[in-house]
Amino acid sequence: MDVLDPKTFYIIPLTDMLIFGTLVFLAFRARSNPPAHKRLILVATTALTLAAVARWPIPFIQHHPLWVAELCTYGFLALLLAYDVYSTGKVHRVTIWASAFLIAVQRLRVPLGETVACTLSLLGPRTWQEPFMDETRADRFSCAHMPVPLS
């Protein structure tokens, strides 16, 4: 299983928020066009399901890289595409463009997150190895000093 560096992984929730916010904003603008609004909201929801799908207790998903979970969420886009073909006989243009936006951002975010420029711009020069609190504060928050209950 490929494990991403914490600095690289940080871009995944940021881009999920970017995708969701962009698609919901476009859906808000398309309220007067119900088919477009519906499709934008469905694709925006699909963008957020990646976190849930990646946590499914299925070994195929759990023991493989992140792209396997992304591929599983693309199944929801395939269902939307099938619905379009079944209901209207063609694929709605919003389905095509919103799905392409989702897939493009999800496929480009990890290579983008691995660049030094992205890491420095998102996190600044501080590294994850620096302690977030000193040892005196860490001792206060540890459970080592608590008594163990006798049964």
Q: Which pLDDT score is estimated for 104? A: 92
User: What is the block-wise mean pLDDT of the chain (151 residues), using blocks of 10 residues?
Assistant: 68 88 95 94 91 79 74 90 94 94 88 69 54 49 51 52
What's the Cα-to-Cα distance from 128 to each of 3, 19, 28, 110, 120, rounded to whole Å? Answer: 16, 26, 38, 18, 12
Q: State residue 121's pLDDT score.
A: 63
pLDDT for res 149:
56
Sign, Cα dihedral of 129, 134, 137, 142:
positive
